[in-house]
DNA sequence: ATGAAAGCGCTAACAT
DNA sequence: ATGTTAGCGCTTTCAT
């Protein structure tokens, strides 16, 4: 379009012809400086500058060497969304770090929302893929699996044969959260979770939907909660679980409003992400509910904003996830690392959780 | 690497041979479905599945078609830093949007900090580059210019021949800020700016350094301030300008401390970014200075966090910058758009600016 | 230290 | 509707 040298006049071959040397020599001038005399090399490079030869074409080189020098990244959502989600940006930061260290490019695969156009996956010139938290039956993910390059998954899907994975123990983390809450005395709780299916379906999610979700992470988190509350004798069928397709503070606020309208008696609202929890917090404030006195609210992730808000949450090492994903893919240290990495999480008790009023009476004496 | 089909057994040619058809036919089955009968196409695709042929190799196709299907992005800093900077992520969001709409991948070029290893630029298989706010003499940028593909610059460098640019009028924006401050009565000010050179040089920047900076954006912003204060009779030689290499809230805090220690008499602290201003704000709080009563503090960018803090600042459309950069590169609408796009900015008067005490006496009667 | 030959895997004319 | 013929620009044995 408008580059000064927007033609592609010179090629390695034309340069070689011009100089009266072989293509090998020109190639060596760029790739194996020790294979030719310094003077000849200088002559080649000078001629290149003079003729506007930009150096070996990367695509042609990739074809020949069978290495693209880049890793592809497939994200759940529209690319533009990822940059707004603090968890995703944390992951990206770590992954970018790993790529930097390995001198590899990071190719973000564009996914037109809900458009099953998989060509962008097919057309990606990469040496491997990192897949970040996508649905099990995501068509783009299936397209990735067809490509004859290594793949590393972060979080979900789980249990894909021959594919490395980095994640956390979502179930155990939420079990810990459940025990924290039952320990405080909570028995009547509500749950706000992220999308459970490919379709936008906001509102209460029944048991079947909870179990059949195509998002194993949500299943594991809900499962951990369920187990923890079962230990305290709570029948999960009575626990309202509300899902929200969109992941945003606004969505969390709306979901909290909805859930509290139908279940005003709950004493704790457990959210499967901090973003949703921040929305719930906002709703509580708007409605005049004191947190944690009138209502306990908890999150998941440990994003900076949640920390600032004093949210009780599960902190997970997002950045490290990204870095490990990259290292796993780039085989740093020649694959003596396990193919399945589970990173630790930590329960952070903030100022948004406390025993319910009834329980406090008890503990009063 | 552990992909189930990690070999590369089948190629288009082998598939064609297997089926007893020509390579063209197989190619058409993928790229021009209308060029062959539905039954033959089905037969081809079935054989492909059976033989584990993953479809045409993207690199080979790119070599042939001379299109990589991706745009490269060169950033100022280490990639991993970009995801922490709200201005950069806003830009990325917009750029990603444009790429999504065009079905193009976005290749992030890794830049090992301060390492002049330009090979990653050379090895990038892209159809064009977007360059985000880099130093004029950045070696990576120079490498980009050598590549025979179109390039769009955001912000800086400026005035590169034949290269499109999207930016704002930094000088005019800061002139507006200066007039806002002089209008309030400020005459003794200090300035906190971002790095002015390739080397980490924290501390006071003299006139020469201000003028010779390799960052045109900083020069323009400082220039606008200078002009505005000249209108009010302020001699710029008396104005302390402190630069900071690192761009972070902490850096802003430290710089503010430094500047106020040597110039306790200033009534306003003008920062060339919100991040620095947030740091200055923190220092003021720590030191017990009331803002804006004891000290006026202003920023630049209009990031969400600044808005929350009520900062007086210049709001610039970061996201749109990214989108326009992408569109410019991808020539949406066949280049009837200007090659130099200047987006509007807006002075946002928050709660951190107010006239100095002396002036307030005046305006009292 | 330099060159000749072969081919990476594909698509685009141009036939038929 | 399908096949034939040429490369895209490069690296890499293997000779010299």
Per-residue pLDDT 10s for chain B (365 aa) are 334 334 457 899 888 888 889 899 999 999 998 888 888 899 999 999 999 899 999 999 999 999 999 999 999 788 778 899 999 999 999 999 999 999 999 999 998 766 678 999 999 999 999 999 999 999 999 999 999 999 999 999 999 988 999 999 999 999 999 999 999 999 999 999 999 999 999 999 999 999 999 999 999 999 999 999 999 999 999 999 999 999 999 999 999 999 999 999 999 999 999 999 999 999 999 999 999 999 999 999 999 999 999 999 999 999 999 999 999 999 865 665 668 999 999 999 999 999 998 765 554 33
B160 and B176 co-located in one domain? no
Asked, as a colleague might, if the bond just before B157 is cis with ω within 30 of 0, I would say: yes
A99 and A152 co-located in one domain? yes
User: Could you tell me the strand order of the sheet in which A268-271 lies?
Assistant: A203-204, A241-244, A189-194, A268-271, A296-298
* Percentage, residues of chain A above pLDDT 70: 93
A192 and A287 co-located in one domain? yes
A227 and A109 co-located in one domain? no
CA of A14 to C1' of C8 (A): 20
A215 and A111 co-located in one domain? no
Q: What is the pLDDT of residues A294-316, one digit of tens each?
A: 999 999 999 999 999 999 999 99
Q: Which residue did the predictor score with more confidence, A95 or A364?
A: A95
β-strand partners of A241: A191
> Where residue B34 sits, what CATH number does that domain have?
1.10.260.40
Tell me the shortest Cα–Cα distance from B211 to chain A, in angstroms: 28
Cα–Cα dist A249/B59, whole Å: 41
Cα–Cα dist A254/A202, whole Å: 10
Cα–Cα dist B256/B242, whole Å: 8
Q: Looking at strand C, which nucleotides approach a protein CB closer than 7 A?
A: 1-13
Q: Which of A149, A159, A189, A363 is nearest to A271 (CA)?
A: A189
Query: Looking at the partner chain, which of A59, A111, A120 has a beta carbon nearest the beta carbon of B68?
Result: A59
What end-to-end distance do the CA atoms of chain B give, in Å? 79
Domain count, chain B: 3
Query: Looking at the partner chain, which of A2, A96, A147 has a beta carbon nearest the beta carbon of B162?
Result: A2
CA of B49 to C1' of D1 (A): 23
A324 and A312 co-located in one domain? no
Q: Is residue A256 part of a domain?
A: yes
Kindly give, in sequence order, each residue whose CB lies less than 8 Å from that of residue A98, ignoring residues fewer than 6 positions away: A322, A323, A324, A325, A326, A327, A330, A332
Q: Which of A305, A240, A318, A316 is nearest to A276 (CA)?
A: A305
Angle at B160 between CA B156 and CA B163, to 5 degrees: 95
Residue-number span of the structural domain to which A331 is assigned: 70-166+319-340
Asked, as a colleague might, if the bond just before B292 is cis with ω within 30 of 0, I would say: yes
Q: What is the pLDDT of residues B4-44, one digit of tens each?
A: 334 457 899 888 888 889 899 999 999 998 888 888 899 99
Q: Name chain A contacts of B72, Cβ cutoff 8 Å.
A: 105
Instruction: With beta carbons less than 8 A apart as the criterion, state whether A259 and A234 touch.
Output: no
A266 and A220 co-located in one domain? yes
Question: What does DSSP say about strands A151-154 and A129-132: parallel, antiparallel, or unpaired?
Answer: parallel
Q: Which of A142, A111, A73 is nearest to A321 (CA)?
A: A73
- Would the Cβ of A22 be found within 7 angstroms of any atom in strand C? yes
pTM of the complete model:
0.92
B330 and B260 co-located in one domain? no
- Would the Cβ of A67 be found within 7 angstroms of any atom in strand C? no
Asked if residue A354 has pLDDT above 80, the reply is: yes
> Where residue B152 sits, what CATH number does that domain have?
3.40.50.2300
Instruction: With beta carbons less than 8 A apart as the criterion, state whether A60 and A30 touch.
Output: no
Q: Looking at strand D, which nucleotides approach a protein CB closer than 7 A?
A: 1-13
Optimal mutation site among A12, A29, A51, A63, interface B, most CBs of chain B within 10 A = A63
Q: What pLDDT is attached to residue A360?
A: 59
Q: Name chain A contacts of B73, Cβ cutoff 8 Å.
A: none
B277 and B192 co-located in one domain? yes
Kindly give, in sequence order, each residue whose CB lies less than 8 Å from that of residue B76, ignoring residues fewer than 6 positions away: B82, B132, B133, B134, B135, B138
Tell me the shortest Cα–Cα distance from B51 to chain A, in angstroms: 12
B221 and B135 co-located in one domain? no
B184 and B289 co-located in one domain? yes
Q: Is residue B195 part of a domain?
A: yes
Asked if residue A24 has pLDDT above 80, the reply is: yes
Nucleotide nearest to B23 (CA to C1'): D3
Binned at pLDDT 50, 70 and 90, residue A359 comes out as low
Mean pLDDT of chain A: 91
A202 and A230 co-located in one domain? yes
Over residues A259-271, the mean pLDDT reads 97
Q: Is residue A200 part of a domain?
A: yes
């Amino acid at each position: 379009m408008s580059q000064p040298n927007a033609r592609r006049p010179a090629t390695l071959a034309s340069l070689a012809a011009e100089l009266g040397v072989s293509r090998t020599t020109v190639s060596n001038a760029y790739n194996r400086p020790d294979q030719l005399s310094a003077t000849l090399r200088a002559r080649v490079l000078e001629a290149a500058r003079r003729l506007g030869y930009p150096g070996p074409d990367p695509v042609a080189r990739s074809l020949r060497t069978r290495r693209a020098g880049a890793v592809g990244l497939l994200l759940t959502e529209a690319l533009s969304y990822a940059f707004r989600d603090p968890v995703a940006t944390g992951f990206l930061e770590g992954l970018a770090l790993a790529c930097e260290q390995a001198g590899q490019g990071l190719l973000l695969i564009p996914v037109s929302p809900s458009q099953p156009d998989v060509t962008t996956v097919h057309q990606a010139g990469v040496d491997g893929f990192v897949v970040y938290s996508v649905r099990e039956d995501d068509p783009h993910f299936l397209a990735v699996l067809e490509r004859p390059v290594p793949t590393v998954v972060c979080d979900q899907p789980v249990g894909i044969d021959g594919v490395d994975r980095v994640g956390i123990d979502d179930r155990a983390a939420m079990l810990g959260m459940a025990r924290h809450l039952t320990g405080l005395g909570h028995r009547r709780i509500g749950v706000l979770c992220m999308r459970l299916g490919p379709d936008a379906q906001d509102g209460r999610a029944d048991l079947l939907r909870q179990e059949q979700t195509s998002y194993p992470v949500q299943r594991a988190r809900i499962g951990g909660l369920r187990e923890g509350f079962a230990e305290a004798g709570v029948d999960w069928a009575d626990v309202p679980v509300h899902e929200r397709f969109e992941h945003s503070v606004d969505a969390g606020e709306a979901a909290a409003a909805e859930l509290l309208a139908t279940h005003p008696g709950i004493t704790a609202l457990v959210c499967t992400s901090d973003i949703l929890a921040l929305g719930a917090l906002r709703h509580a404030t708007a409605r005049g509910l004191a947190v944690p006195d009138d209502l306990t609210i908890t999150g998941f992730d440990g994003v900076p904003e949640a920390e600032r808000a004093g949210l009780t949450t599960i902190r997970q090492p997002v950045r490290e996830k990204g870095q490990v994903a990259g290292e796993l893919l780039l085989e740093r240290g020649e694959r003596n690392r396990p193919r399945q990495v589970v990173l630790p999480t930590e329960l952070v008790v903030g100022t948004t959780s406390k025993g319910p009023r009834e329980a406090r009476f008890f503990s009063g004496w």
